Amino acid sequence: MKITVAPGDGIGPEIMDVVLDVFRAARVPLEFDLVAMGKDVALAGDRTGISPEARASVEETGVLFKGPMETPKGGGHKSVNVTARKLWGAFANKRVYRMLPGVPSPLGLTELDLTMVRENIEDTYGAVEHMQTHDVAQCRRFITRPGSEQVHRYTFEMAARKGARRVTCAHKANIMKLTDGLFLETFYEVAKEYPHLKADDVIVDALAMKLVTEPNSFDVIVMPNFQGDILTDLAAGLVGGLAYAPSANIGESVCIFEAVHGTAPDIVGMDKANPTALLLSGTMMLRHLELVEHAQLIEGALERTLDQMNHREDISEFVSDFRTSIFRYLMLEQLRAGRVDRRRTDVQAPRLPRRSEPRMLVSPTPGATSLRGVDVFLESPLTPDAVAHQLTGLSDELRLTMISNRGTQVWPTGSTFTDCVNHYRVRFEGDRAVSQQVLVTLLAQVAECFPLCSAEWLREVDGKPAYSLAQGQA
């Protein structure tokens, strides 16, 4: 079976060489199609960082095994890691945390069996950003019902296979009532299909504390993308750091297995790059491909190597010693297993569904949806009262009901101690449903008074407002 391999940037090629050598020594029945992805591809002109050859290979094999790839800060090309996950629909990021022999925990843990699943496509990682004014940057956050259902159903199915007893949803629905609220609502809807599993939820800031104080109280945790990115790295610290935390990105057609640590350019070529996380990600891949025996063989050799390297003073930290040690223990593990013939001939490549166009994920249409108004985002250096004065009485069907600045109401009531920037949200609402044409006409009228930044329709769904109040709004 052929898989796609992208060595990555920085230390990526070094640790990938070690891992592939271990696979060969363990007689893993895979063929590796090495492709170009990462910084060099982006600098050569393809800002996705994914070469056409890489794209074609992944869409043929359905499995991508990749090393770390560099993401520039504050500019340059977008994250190749994020692009790959979103491009191929790898909607669930699964990370497994357990204590490894000889690897000390900063908290002194001796046991841990924790799985975390992070939604992988939506949230602020859509990276839909705009400068609304010269002082105000905006990032749009997308949480969808179909996307949430995908990741929750995968999480419950995985938890059932794992033999878990509890699935916890982490969220911030107390503040972001619509976006995180939808994620949480969907969690409990899916949970009804798995009555044998306990389903509960926790606010993310409380989870951050509990992961440090009582990590063994959790079993499986599922989270939105951005919050999950942060807290999965926190959990990695419990087991010794990102160098010991494997990662799988699961999609219905394509799966991506990778180490989530950085490219460590400061140690490139120094024989110090730790390949453990990539090797463990590789064994997750082998289990996904039903090569469980090979995964167990490699994990056994890895655990003995880590135990030796962390307890013997005459074993250095250099990767060449790691490679020598794991090869030796791999031979011992093979002998202990009776040299079972691992030349599998029944391994089949995944059959990817062929598509002529992207698949639409759409939930059933609600019973009743209507437009009740519009939030207009505009630029102005004027005070809230001065803005309101110019916008009052523009429409016969819609009236100005609220003005906010940075999310806080500043008109018709507010505080003189609220500091404002040159970016306002002005809300117009009607007493009954209106047409899009009424809203578009109003936008044109507001545009005669102020520069427009953007606008959002105010919808009512099944009799309930589908938009948030400002902070301080009654």
Share of the chain above pLDDT 70, in %: 93
Residue 2 DSSP symbol:
E
Report the amino acid identity of residue 418. T
Residue that is written with structure tokens 């180490």 in the block: 259
Helical ranges in 34-98 per DSSP H: 39-43, 52-61, 80-87
pLDDT confidence of residue 405 = 95
353-363 pLDDT, tens per residue?
Answer: 677 788 898 88
**Structure-token pair, residue 85:** 């996950």
pLDDT at residue 411 greater than cutoff 70: yes
Q: Helix, strand or coil for residue 398?
A: coil
What would the mean pLDDT of 282-290 be, rounded to a whole number? 95
Helices (H) and strands (E) in the chain — how many of each? 13, 18
pLDDT at residue 340 greater than cutoff 70: no
pLDDT confidence of residue 314 = 43
pLDDT at residue 233 greater than cutoff 60: yes
The strand pair at 113-119 and 220-223 is best described as: parallel
CB 195: neighbour CB atoms within 10 A? 8
Burial profile 322-343: b = 16 or more Cβ within 10 angstroms, e = fewer: bbebbeebbeebbeeeeeeeee
φ, ψ of residue 202 in degrees (nearest 5):
-150, 145
* Angle between helices 276-288 and 292-311 in degrees, nearest 10: 160
pLDDT confidence of residue 344 = 52
140-176 pLDDT, tens per residue?
Answer: 999 999 999 999 999 999 999 999 999 999 999 999 9
Say if residues 220 and 187 touch (Cβ distance below 8 Å): no
- Distance, in Å, from the CA atom of 267 to the CA atom of 272, rounded to the nearest integer, reads 7
Contacts of 159 by beta carbon, 8 Å cutoff, 6+ apart = 115, 167, 194, 197, 219, 220
- How far is C-alpha 356 from the geometric centre of its chain's CA atoms? 27
Report the amino acid identity of residue 112. L
Domains of the chain are 1-81+289-364 (no CATH), 91-250 (3.40.718.10), 369-465 (3.30.70.1570)
* 396 or 352, greater pLDDT: 396
- Distance, in Å, from the CA atom of 446 to the CA atom of 430, rounded to the nearest integer, reads 16
Question: Which of 84, 40, 71, 28 is CA-nearest to residue 258?
Answer: 84
For the stretch 150-155, contacts whose Cβ atoms lie closer than 8 Å and that sit 24 or more positions apart, written own/partner, are 150/91, 150/92, 150/361, 151/91, 151/92, 151/117, 151/119, 151/120, 151/222, 152/186, 152/187, 152/190, 152/191, 152/222, 153/190, 153/193, 154/91, 154/92, 154/117, 154/250, 155/92, 155/117, 155/220, 155/222
Contacts of 361 by beta carbon, 8 Å cutoff, 6+ apart = 144, 146, 147, 150
C-alpha triplet 183, 185, 187: angle, nearest 5°: 70
Q: Helix, strand or coil for residue 416?
A: coil
User: Over the Cα atoms of the chain, what is R_g?
Assistant: 26
C-alpha triplet 263, 302, 20: angle, nearest 5°: 55
pLDDT at residue 315 greater than cutoff 60: no
CB 157: neighbour CB atoms within 10 A? 13
**Structure-token pair, residue 306:** 């880590």
- Report the first-to-last Cα separation within the chain, whole angstroms: 61
Contacts of 275 by beta carbon, 8 Å cutoff, 6+ apart = 14, 15, 18, 19, 319, 322
pLDDT at residue 305 greater than cutoff 60: yes
18-76 pLDDT, tens per residue?
Answer: 999 999 999 999 999 999 999 999 889 888 899 999 999 999 999 999 999 987 776 66
* Angle between helices 179-191 and 145-162 in degrees, nearest 10: 40
**Structure-token pair, residue 97:** 């945390």
